[in-house]
Chains A and B, each alone.
Chain A
Amino acid sequence: MTMNMKRASVSEIAAQLAEDPKAGQEVEAEIRKSQLVTALTGFRLRKGISQKEIAERMPCDPSKVSKMESGNDGHLRWADVLDYVRSLGVTMSVCLEDSSLPATTRIKQHVFRIHDLLQELVEIARQLQGEGDIQEKIDHFYGEVLFNFLVRFGRGYQDLQSVIRIPAMEKPALPPAEVEVVEEGGGTEKAAERDLVDRR
């Protein structure tokens, strides 16, 4: 269909239709109440598992699963969440953030977390050792993933630059040659080294 469509978020649409900005805020508040529920349900749907199957694995009555998924985060029981997650075959990390900590500590924690996640990528790569064509496909996929990560990292870096002035000496070496990064093993490091030398 080709019409001049004005698309927006759900809360914006709700506010427009109700002709009241408060309606949008109420929808936003409702959405915030069920972020965990939405994430859990999304996992189940992506894996193509039915509510009945989850109920059999938990084990519990299917109506309980339906109730969990229709409810808010505040209605969830911790034990049920653990059973649900285990039944999906996924692991769960709980992240506690202390907003009262000094900004410097929080910034460091975020950087350490990014580092930990990158280390997890290395660990997964170690587990994905194949032979011949399979290894080639794994390498290619990893290359694509890393390329997209670098794109996002670049955007994040630009966003940061719009907020703070990063001193020239401390600028990280961003790999500018994307193709090299995707297609060559170790390209990231080489590009980064060259970039760092150029900047100096």
Chain B
Amino acid sequence: MISEEGQRWEVSRNLVSGNAFKHFRKRRGREFASCFANLEKVRVFLSEGIPMVQVGVGFLRSEGDGLWRVGQSQVPYAKESRLYFYPEEETRTLHVLGVGTKETQAKDIREAKEIIQKAFKKTE
């Protein structure tokens, strides 16, 4: 039978604590909302059956090793911001892993990749 419901992707925050997000939102509230709204777009596209690698949109980028990030869009005078996540195909889950700006991206990416390594690639 045709079942669209089985394709639905959802979001999880199980792998991170909220501290960094809380502080980021206090300083960059509009960027915070825009990044999460863009993550919702990615979630919708995946739920429609579009593979992650084919989601070719300007605000989305692969950072390698399974890590992806969305940026803010249409925020006047915005600070370049990134919301990092890991799309887990098996459970159709987008794991939120971190948030930061262009200035902190090297550290943010390293930390996010460490989380992926610990949580998903122990047996590899």
Which A residues form the contact surface with B (CB < 8 A)? 1, 3, 5-11, 13-14, 16-20, 23, 26-27, 29-31, 33-34, 38, 41-42, 45-46, 48, 50-51, 66-67, 69-72, 75, 144-145, 147-148
CB neighbours of A148 from chain B (8 A): 1-3
Give complex CA distance A38, B37 in Å. 10
A-B pairs with beta carbons under 8 A, tally: 123
Which chain B residue shows the least CB distance to A178? B1
| A46 contacts B50, C-beta separation under 8 Å | yes
| A1 contacts B120, C-beta separation under 8 Å | yes
| B1 contacts A14, C-beta separation under 8 Å | no
For the residues of A in contact with B, the DSSP-based class is helix
CB distance from A132 to the nearest CB of B (A): 23
Is residue B73 within 8 Å, beta carbon to beta carbon, of the partner chain?
Answer: yes
CB neighbours of A67 from chain B (8 A): 58
CB neighbours of B119 from chain A (8 A): 1, 3
Is residue B11 within 8 Å, beta carbon to beta carbon, of the partner chain?
Answer: yes
- Can you spell out 7 A-B residue pairs with CB atoms less than 8 angstroms apart? A3-B14, A9-B11, A14-B21, A17-B13, A26-B32, A34-B37, A41-B45
Is residue B79 within 8 Å, beta carbon to beta carbon, of the partner chain?
Answer: no
CB contact between B33 and one of A8, A23, A147 (< 8 Å): that residue? A23
Task: Kindly list the 3 A-B residue pairs having the minimum CB-CB distance in the complex, ordered from nearest.
Answer: A30-B37, A17-B21, A7-B10
**Number of B residues, CB within 8 Å of A:** 43
Known: A19-B18, A19-B22. A26 touches B50 (CB 8 A): no
Which B residues form the contact surface with A (CB < 8 A)? 1-3, 10-14, 16, 18, 21-22, 25, 29, 32-34, 36-37, 39-41, 43-45, 48-50, 54-59, 73-74, 88, 90-91, 93, 96, 119-120
| A34 contacts B18, C-beta separation under 8 Å | no
Give complex CA distance A48, B54 in Å. 8
| A10 contacts B58, C-beta separation under 8 Å | no
Known: A7-B10, A10-B11. A27 touches B16 (CB 8 A): no
Give complex CA distance A18, B29 in Å. 10
Give complex CA distance A46, B45 in Å. 8
| A10 contacts B40, C-beta separation under 8 Å | yes
Which chain B residue shows the least CB distance to A11? B36
| A42 contacts B11, C-beta separation under 8 Å | no
CB contact between A10 and one of B25, B39, B55 (< 8 Å): that residue? B39
Give complex CA distance A182, B33 in Å. 45
CB neighbours of B59 from chain A (8 A): 70
Known: A3-B14, A38-B41. A144 touches B29 (CB 8 A): no
| A70 contacts B58, C-beta separation under 8 Å | yes
| A6 contacts B40, C-beta separation under 8 Å | no
CB neighbours of A13 from chain B (8 A): 11-13, 36, 96
